[in-house]
């Protein structure tokens, strides 16, 4: 960590700062320049509170050299983490496709879709039981019943289940769920992160809608710091000024994260754009960018034309996406088993 001290700083304040640094168990080097004094901190700097230092009167600016995350940091764990979900592997040279309905609506619906996506080549089943909604008046999901219906679909198809948890107080209900998803709006719900960090299940951590890559890795760190190292990151688009898509999918994040962390990273192209007709090109783009998997919404309502064209694909459209992905995987040295 490097601290630039103002050129007109008070010597007593500087002495106080140096003393405080040493009290933190850190070493310090000091370089006197024309217009400023530069301090270099040596030791366990990820634990240092950078905001506190930045706020000091004599400090002009601070810069981390080491990343503030440790367990998630590739520097300290060079090999890819590979997470096994009932035999389906995330990370390394593996590629996984998670598919299913936005919301679980009925036993028949979820089982039909589960069978359809399995036939089309999906590896895991997704489906929302607890639904975070902007409006208190909107449908909030079937909750516990939804989880039971997902369980039935798993029994029918053998596909592991991925579904969202919104509160630590619901954890008992998720006992049979294979992968717990933390949604974008809860990415910095630190109490929830700590709670799922105590579990022995893989956690799918979505990026918050206006969170930086570093903040995202710090949220992964919250989970890992409690002992749970099975974190799968999921890029789902960030908030920008562009109104034509719901979010802007940040695919540069994929190769960047591959450098910064050893954790697997997948992409959700359905929520990112909010437009089903963008799912195929953005899925192929995600494979090209180096993602370890995709999570895609599929619905099965051919009779009711109402929802057609949603962010959800029809099963036959999904099948076409899977085919395109499978042709591309060898180019990026990935495989699906």
Which residues, numbered 178-207, are part of the site for a second copy (CB under 8 A)? 185-186, 188-191, 194
Among residues 143, 171, 256, 336, the one that binds a second copy under rule CB under 8 A: 256
Q: Measured between alpha carbons, how far is 218 from 225 in angstroms, rounded to an integer?
A: 10
| Cα angle value 201/204/208 (rounded, 5°) | 140
Q: Exposed (0-12), middle (13-18) or buried (19+): which is 219, by Cβ within 10 Å?
A: buried
Q: Can residue 142 be called a binding residue for a second copy (CB under 8 A)?
A: no
Nearer to a second copy, 66 or 151 (CB): 66
**In this chain, which of 24, 26, 40, 151 binds a second copy, going by CB under 8 A?**
40
Binding part of the chain for a second copy, among 92-100, 113-121, 147-155, 274-282 by CB under 8 A, reads: 274-282
| 277-306 residues near a second copy, rule: CB under 8 A | 277-278, 281-290, 304-306
Task: List alpha helices for 56-143, DSSP H.
Answer: 107-120
For 333: left if phi > 0, alpha if psi spans -120 to 50, otherwise beta; the answer is left
CA dihedral of 249, 252, 258, 263, whole degrees rounded to 10: -20
Instruction: Select the span of 93-101, 115-123, 228-236, 327-335 touching a second copy (CB under 8 A).
Output: 327-335
Based on the shown chain and the rule CB under 8 A, indicate whether residue 172 belongs to the binding site for a second copy: no
Considering only 24, 26, 58, 121, the residue that binds a second copy (CB under 8 A) is 58
Residue 174 engages a second copy in binding (rule: CB under 8 A): no
- The dihedral through the CA atoms of 6, 11, 14, 16 has a sign that is negative
Give the range of 79-87, 104-112, 145-153, 237-245 binding a second copy by CB under 8 A: 237-245
Q: Whole-number minimum distance, CB 248 to a second copy, in Å?
A: 5
Least Cβ distance, residue 317 to a second copy (angstroms): 11
Distance CA 247, CA 252 (A): 15
């Amino acid at each position: 960590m490097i601290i630039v001290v103002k050129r007109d700083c008070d010597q007593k304040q500087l002495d106080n700062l140096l003393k405080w640094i040493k009290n933190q168990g850190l070493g310090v080097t000091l370089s006197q320049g024309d217009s400023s004094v530069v301090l270099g901190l040596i030791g366990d700097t990820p634990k240092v509170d950078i905001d506190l230092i930045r706020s000091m009167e004599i400090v002009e600016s601070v810069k981390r050299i080491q990343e503030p995350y440790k367990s998630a940091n590739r520097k300290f764990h060079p090999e890819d983490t590979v997470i096994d979900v009932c035999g389906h592997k995330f990370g390394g040279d593996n590629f996984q496709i998670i598919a299913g309905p936005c919301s679980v609506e009925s036993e028949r619906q979820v089982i039909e879709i589960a069978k359809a996506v399995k036939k089309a080549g999906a590896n895991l089943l997704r489906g929302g039981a607890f639904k975070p909604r902007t409006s208190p008046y909107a449908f909030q999901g079937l909750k516990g019943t939804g989880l039971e219906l997902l369980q039935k679909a798993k029994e029918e198809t053998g596909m592991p289940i991925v579904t969202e948890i919104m509160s630590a107080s619901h954890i008992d209900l998720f006992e049979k769920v294979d992968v717990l998803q933390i949604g974008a709006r809860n990415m910095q719900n630190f109490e929830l992160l700590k709670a799922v960090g105590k579990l022995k299940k893989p956690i799918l951590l979505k990026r918050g809608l206006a969170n930086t890559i570093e903040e995202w890795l710090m949220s992964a760190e919250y989970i890992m710091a409690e002992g749970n190292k099975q974190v799968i990151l999921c890029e789902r688009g960030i908030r920008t000024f562009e109104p034509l898509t719901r979010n802007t999918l940040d695919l540069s994040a994929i190769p960047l994260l591959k450098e910064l962390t050893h954790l697997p990273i997948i992409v959700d192209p359905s929520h990112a754009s909010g437009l089903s007709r963008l799912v195929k090109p953005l899925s192929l783009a995600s494979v090209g960018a180096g993602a370890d998997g995709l999570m895609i919404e599929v619905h099965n309502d051919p009779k009711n034309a109402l929802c057609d064209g949603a962010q959800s694909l029809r099963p036959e459209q999904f099948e076409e996406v899977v085919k395109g992905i499978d042709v591309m995987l060898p180019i990026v040295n990935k495989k699906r088993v």
